[in-house]
Amino acid sequence: MKFKSLFITASLGAIACFEAGAEEIVPTQEQIDHLGITNPDKLSAASKRALQWPDVGNEWFFEYEVYDLKGDFAYEEGVVRRDPSAIIKHEGKYYCWYTRSTGETQGFGGDVEKEKVFPWDRCDIWYATSEDGLTWKEQGMAVGRGEPGAYDDRSVFTTEIMVWEGKYYLCYQVVKSPYNIRVQEKVALAWADSPDGPWTKSSEPILSPATNGVWKGEEMNRFLVEKKGDFDSHKTHDPCIIPYKGKFYLYYKGEQMGEEITFGGRQIRHGVAIADKPEGPYVKSPYNPISNSGHEICVWPYDGGIASLITTDGPEKNTVQWAPDGINFEIRGVVPGAPHAIGINRTLDSEKAPLAALEWGLTHQYKTYNWQYIRGFKIKQRRDSRARGEAGRK
């Protein structure tokens, strides 16, 4: 298994934003030496940006390894297990919830009323437990699809767990039939007094897409719009609720109607909605979107703020960011890749160090487009760079 390096540098558009000629920059001798600047009187745009990088060391720098799990999380053809939740511990056992379905994915080219359009279509939320975090035993369904006509009758998927004052809360995505290319995806909530259930579902979604986008025509084409609307005018995805500063912050991924491809890839951004109690109501922040990039939500509390792993899409993809207020995120490290759909380990002390929450956890992997399975990951931190056989720093 190979480790993949994560390094602190500037990616395209990632660290703003010195406009050449806007002001004079006079580097110190220490900066000249640290950045290897040849001539401080002839600074390139790259050197000017580097001089404005945040003052961070290698505490946000790590490598990761992905590995197979045992038991029911081992690969099983014919079964989709994906999007693991955070890991919690109860009465000596680790718990995880995840998206589960069977059957091949046909896409939107066939009969959407009968077939499966995505791997996360026609899914329910199941859960599993483990004594050691390596061998997992499937315990059955936690939250299933609703009755025909309900807001969640087509699929329930991509869940996250929160424990608060002795109660357990699962937030997750929902889709109502028919699952066509323009369908909205919303966020719902279920709660229980035990991690083993039974779970009570919210009577309606707790978060929905913005309503200010306008489709063009009747053709089932998500790129034809008269008005794109807010960053989350099409879908609200990947929810995660964090208790923070006496309130509840619901972080989520937004997809926009008429989504474009930019110089950073897909137009995907994150938002947050805030409530006074876990059940809501959740009010979207006026500062949304709070990222201009990202995919699956991976957030954890650190140093009085919230840290976020931004992956896959957008001009600031593959970065680790931190916000002192949970909203205004700044880049702390640049990541050349990361495990997909991280199920973060909430049993770890995330305040111990910037990356302590990522020491080990869960991820998913595509074996094929039809079949995905849950794997483990772990990280290690690097303090220096050495050639093979070279002695370390003294």
- What CATH number does the domain containing 325 carry? 2.115.10.20
Is there a domain that residue 18 lies in?
Answer: no
pLDDT at residue 1, rounded to an integer: 42
Is there a domain that residue 387 lies in?
Answer: no
Could you give the number of structural domains in the chain? 1
Of 68-82, 157-171, 214-228, which range is least confident?
214-228
Is there a domain that residue 360 lies in?
Answer: yes
Structure tokens given for 324:
């002192």
Is the model's pLDDT at 383 over the cut of 90? no
Q: What is the pLDDT of residues 282-331, one digit of tens each?
A: 999 999 999 999 999 999 999 999 999 999 999 999 999 999 999 999 99
Q: What is the pLDDT of residues 110-140, one digit of tens each?
A: 888 889 999 999 999 999 999 999 999 999 9
Is there a domain that residue 10 lies in?
Answer: no
Is there a domain that residue 197 lies in?
Answer: yes
Beta carbons within 10 angstroms of residue 304's beta carbon: 11
Q: What is the pLDDT of residues 133-152, one digit of tens each?
A: 999 999 999 999 999 999 99
> Among 157, 82, 98, which Cα is nearest to 369's?
82
Beta carbons within 10 angstroms of residue 321's beta carbon: 24
Rounded to an integer, the average pLDDT of 50-65 is 84
Residue with tokens 């009968």: 114
| Predicted TM-score of the model (pTM) | 0.92
pLDDT at residue 359, rounded to an integer: 95
Is there a domain that residue 21 lies in?
Answer: no
Is there a domain that residue 55 lies in?
Answer: no
Is the model's pLDDT at 96 over the cut of 50? yes
Is there a domain that residue 179 lies in?
Answer: yes
pLDDT band at 386 (very low <50, low <70, confident <90, very high): confident
Q: What is the pLDDT of residues 36-54, one digit of tens each?
A: 999 999 999 999 999 988 8
pLDDT at residue 100, rounded to an integer: 98
pLDDT at residue 162, rounded to an integer: 98
pLDDT at residue 380, rounded to an integer: 83
Q: Which domain holds residue 223?
A: 68-380
pLDDT band at 163 (very low <50, low <70, confident <90, very high): very high
Rounded to an integer, the average pLDDT of 164-175 is 98
Rounded to an integer, the average pLDDT of 24-38 is 91
* Cβ proximity of 145 and 154 under 8 Å: yes
